Amino acid sequence: MAILVVGSVAIDTIETPFGSVDSVQGGAASYFALAASLYDTVRLVAVVGEDFPPPFLASFQARGVDLRGLRVMSGATFRWGGRYHLDMNSRDTLFTELGVFADFRPDIPDAYHDSAVIFLANIQPQLQLEVLRQMTVGAPASRLIALDTMNLWIETARDALTDVLRQVDIVLIAEEEARQYAGTTSLRAAVRHLFSLGPKVLVVKQGSYGALLFSADGRFFAAPAYPLEDVRDPTGAGDAFAGGFLGYLSSRITAGHPLSALDYRRALVHGNILGSFACEDFSVARVKALTPSEIAARYREFVDYTHFEGTWSSEQ
Amino acid sequence: MAILVVGSVAIDTIETPFGSVDSVQGGAASYFALAASLYDTVRLVAVVGEDFPPPFLASFQARGVDLRGLRVMSGATFRWGGRYHLDMNSRDTLFTELGVFADFRPDIPDAYHDSAVIFLANIQPQLQLEVLRQMTVGAPASRLIALDTMNLWIETARDALTDVLRQVDIVLIAEEEARQYAGTTSLRAAVRHLFSLGPKVLVVKQGSYGALLFSADGRFFAAPAYPLEDVRDPTGAGDAFAGGFLGYLSSRITAGHPLSALDYRRALVHGNILGSFACEDFSVARVKALTPSEIAARYREFVDYTHFEGTWSSEQ
């Protein structure tokens, strides 16, 4: 079994109050793949141009990412430039050069059809639908489909987005985008609206404040964010979060465990952990260098940071 | 033993997207006293005018609040009017009529000098200093002094605020105000700066996202906010939070327990709980009507909402 991601692989230029980097590894699928591959085998469907730097490819290969779905087309790789404001909560896009990504049509290799988890990273909902159209054969019964989205698609492709929402099991969405999609200021009402479309699990991302987990059967779990010393570069934090969350779930499925409510909670904590590591350095630098023992240590910190009843390992 | 609060008692006019109320019970010390009195005896030092409505006084008496420190002066009670924006995270002050509060000089009754916990609610730092000057005799060795503050005092009375910060044990402060006071974007750096002044415990309030607990010995705890269906009126939520937090600590001291790190964590959860109840209705309506069993039920929900390791009461 394995986890399939479809999304953007890009070359980024980033400015934050802590510095700037030029032509670094980026794109939602890059952050996701490097994070999720710490937990399970990742299969990547994306497109790059002939200018895609070999060291970026090597970073995927070092983690055993299956690249049979990565198309190299003649032309330029998707390039994105962004500048963060002092508070790191808002950013300006400096440029977007789609390059070969403009003509991206996902083509899922046959060998990927048995993936246990599918992550539709933040791309046009029409492309997310196209992936699902191709994934109809050989699907394991327990297959989980998850999607991420953004305000742009809520505004410009709402109907297609609604079509995808009806076909997925897990939705990862920022709090303000959940409210925006549902047209309400009440997060609870927004969550009910999203569940009415079919998903069984909702992950509401709150940026530097953590994440909330809702399930269609009424369960709720909240995980605060890891208290970082500095956020050097928040680019890709949400995708690394998705990688930790779905990577953990995929690893449990691969190990033969039926997923429990507790697995989803622990997955959310792993999402927070990977999101926090992603912010510690520019581009994918920190996630690329991350080790399982660093994840385990931060997980123990999270248990200590959040528990106040019952027994847990740390002495109080 | 008991908990002493010094702060504003006011008459509020509030508009939110859910409705509006005119001439209702308000003021930081009102919210605090009605919340903390669910845990321990509260002693109130404040000033009101002759127009202060008897039902507001009765709400304090119904909770056994010691009103010997409440001065009734000729003139009008402090009146405040505010209007919340749609997202509830920002508000406009419509009017501030200080009335008798303009000449408020705290005068602490002798009988209050043995209070185990002192809460300097959000008033001018010069008045907070005056309270501490008067509280030098008969203090129990384990006495805890806590303060709340706001951006106005950081901007207009920074030196006096720094003087108070040097004399208190616990600081309750909003996240953005901690950063503002310390002049840094890093919350961790702001926390270190505040600890360098002397406090042993810092409670960083994150509004609708929850609260963080830092201790000078390096411990950390994070409690997410309770997921309310609707925030009808956030006025006084921070003061009700302080009432739950310090009320719980005071009840432990009164019961003869030396405070442990775990007590502080549980106190933070009680703070979140009282803050969440405060938002459920206009003015002090919800806190005034609150019962210990409702607090206990929400506490059990909090345990369930936040735990993912070890054993706790709820079945997963």
> How far are the Cα atoms of B120, B183, B187, B245 from residue B197, in angstroms, in the given order?
17, 15, 16, 22
Which B-chain residues 162-221 have CB contacts (< 8 A) with chain A? 185-189, 206, 209-210, 212, 220-221
> How far are the Cα atoms of A39, A64, A270, A293 from residue A290, in angstroms, in the given order?
12, 14, 13, 9
Out of B186, B262, B309, the one facing A229 most closely (by C-beta) is B186
A313/B87 Cβ within 8 A: no
- Shortest Cα distance from B246 to chain A (angstroms)? 17
Chain A interface includes B95 (CB < 8 A): no
- Shortest Cα distance from A229 to chain B (angstroms)? 5
A310/B312 Cβ within 8 A: yes
Distance CA B36, CA B103 (A): 26
Task: Kindly tell me the burial class for residue B41, based on how many C-beta atoms sit within 10 Å of its own C-beta (0-12, 13-18, 19 or more).
Answer: buried
> How far are the Cα atoms of A193, A316, B307 from residue A311, in angstroms, in the given order?
37, 10, 10
Q: What is the mean pLDDT of residues A57-73?
A: 98
Chain B interface includes A22 (CB < 8 A): no
Least confident of A3-7, A229-233, B22-26: A229-233
Q: What is the mean pLDDT of residues B33-49?
A: 98
Chain A positions in Cβ-Cβ contact with residue B206 (cut-off 8 Å): 209
Chain B positions in Cβ-Cβ contact with residue A309 (cut-off 8 Å): 266, 303, 307, 312-313
Chain A positions in Cβ-Cβ contact with residue B303 (cut-off 8 Å): 308-310
pLDDT band, residue A313 (cuts 50/70/90): low
User: Coil, helix or strand for A108?
Assistant: coil
Is A217 a residue whose pLDDT tops 70?
Answer: yes
Q: Which residue of B16, B270, B302, B309 is the best one to mutate when testing the A interface, meaning the one whose CB has the most A CBs within 10 A?
A: B309
Q: Which chain A residue shows the shortest CA-CA distance from B205?
A: A209
- Give CA A254 to chain center in angstroms: 19
Is A159 a residue whose pLDDT tops 80?
Answer: yes
**Contacting residues for B9 by C-beta, under 8 A, at least 6 apart:** B27, B29, B30, B44, B46, B47, B48, B52, B56, B70, B77, B78
SS3 sequence of A149-178:
CCHHHHHHCHHHHHHHHCCCCEEEEEHHHH
Q: What is the mean pLDDT of residues B69-73?
A: 97
Distance CA A247, CA B284 (A): 46
Distance CA A250, CA A263 (A): 10
Question: Which pLDDT belongs to residue B312?
Answer: 63
Residues comprising chain A, all counted: 316
Is A64 a residue whose pLDDT tops 70?
Answer: yes
Distance CA B223, CA B209 (A): 9
- Give CA B53 to chain center in angstroms: 23
Q: What is the mean pLDDT of residues A10-28?
A: 96
- Which ipTM was obtained for this model? 0.90
Q: How far apart are the first and last CA of chain B?
A: 40
The kind and range of the H/E element at A293 are helix A292-306
B308/A266 Cβ within 8 A: yes
Question: Which pLDDT belongs to residue B315?
Answer: 44
Which B-chain residues 49-78 have CB contacts (< 8 A) with chain A? none
Distance CA B100, CA B11 (A): 12
A261/B305 Cβ within 8 A: no
Place of tokens 């030196």: B159
Question: Which pLDDT belongs to residue A191?
Answer: 97
Chain B interface includes A88 (CB < 8 A): yes
Helix axes B261-278, B292-306, angle to 10 degrees: 110
The amino acid at residue A259 is L
Give me chain A's average pLDDT, please: 94
A306/B229 Cβ within 8 A: no
Chain A interface includes B90 (CB < 8 A): no
- Shortest Cα distance from B17 to chain A (angstroms)? 10
Chain B interface includes A307 (CB < 8 A): yes
A308/B309 Cβ within 8 A: no
Q: At residue B214, what are phi and psi to the nearest 5 degrees?
A: -115, 140
Residues comprising chain B, all counted: 316
B224/A222 Cβ within 8 A: yes
Is A46 within 8 Å of A6 (Cβ atoms)? yes
Is A243 a residue whose pLDDT tops 80?
Answer: yes
Q: Which domains does chain A have, with CATH numbers?
A: 3-306 (3.40.1190.20)
Chain A positions in Cβ-Cβ contact with residue B209 (cut-off 8 Å): 206, 209-210, 224
In this prediction the pTM is 0.94
Contacts 24+ apart (CB under 8 A), B257-266: B258/B142, B260/A316, B261/A316, B261/B215, B261/B219, B262/A308, B262/A316, B264/B201, B264/B213, B264/B215, B264/B221, B265/A308, B265/A316, B265/B213, B265/B221, B265/B223, B266/A308, B266/A309
B209/A220 Cβ within 8 A: no
Question: Which pLDDT belongs to residue B316?
Answer: 42
Q: How far apart are the first and last CA of chain A?
A: 40
Q: Which residue of B212, B231, B308, B313 is the best one to mutate when testing the A interface, meaning the one whose CB has the most A CBs within 10 A?
A: B308
Is B112 a residue whose pLDDT tops 50?
Answer: yes
Question: Which pLDDT belongs to residue B116?
Answer: 94
Q: Which residue of A257, A301, A308 is the best one to mutate when testing the B interface, meaning the one whose CB has the most B CBs within 10 A?
A: A308
A224/B87 Cβ within 8 A: no
Chain A interface includes B297 (CB < 8 A): no
Place of tokens 């990273």: A121
A312/B303 Cβ within 8 A: no
Out of A17, A221, A229, the one facing B188 most closely (by C-beta) is A229
Is A86 a residue whose pLDDT tops 90?
Answer: no
B187/A308 Cβ within 8 A: no
Residue B283: CB atoms within 10 A of its CB come to 23
pLDDT band, residue B122 (cuts 50/70/90): very high
Chain B interface includes A159 (CB < 8 A): no
Is A314 a residue whose pLDDT tops 60?
Answer: no
The kind and range of the H/E element at A270 are helix A261-278
Distance CA A217, CA B34 (A): 36
Distance CA A82, CA A158 (A): 25
pLDDT tens track for A104-147: 999 999 999 999 999 999 999 999 999 999 987 777 778 999 99
Chain B positions in Cβ-Cβ contact with residue A307 (cut-off 8 Å): 306-307, 309-310
- Shortest Cα distance from B51 to chain A (angstroms)? 37
CA angle A191, A197, A199 (to 5 degrees): 70
Q: Which residue of A231, A262, A309 is the best one to mutate when testing the B interface, meaning the one whose CB has the most B CBs within 10 A?
A: A309
Percentage of chain B beyond pLDDT 90 is 88
Closest CA to B176 of B155, B196, B206: B206
A265/B188 Cβ within 8 A: no
Out of A185, A187, A310, the one facing B311 most closely (by C-beta) is A310
B269/A228 Cβ within 8 A: no
Q: What is the mean pLDDT of residues B210-227?
A: 95
pLDDT tens track for B126-172: 999 999 999 877 777 789 999 999 999 999 999 999 999 999 999 99
The backbone region for B220, taken as left when phi is positive above 0, alpha when psi lies in -120 to 50, beta otherwise, is beta
Give me chain B's average pLDDT, please: 94
- Shortest Cα distance from B263 to chain A (angstroms)? 9
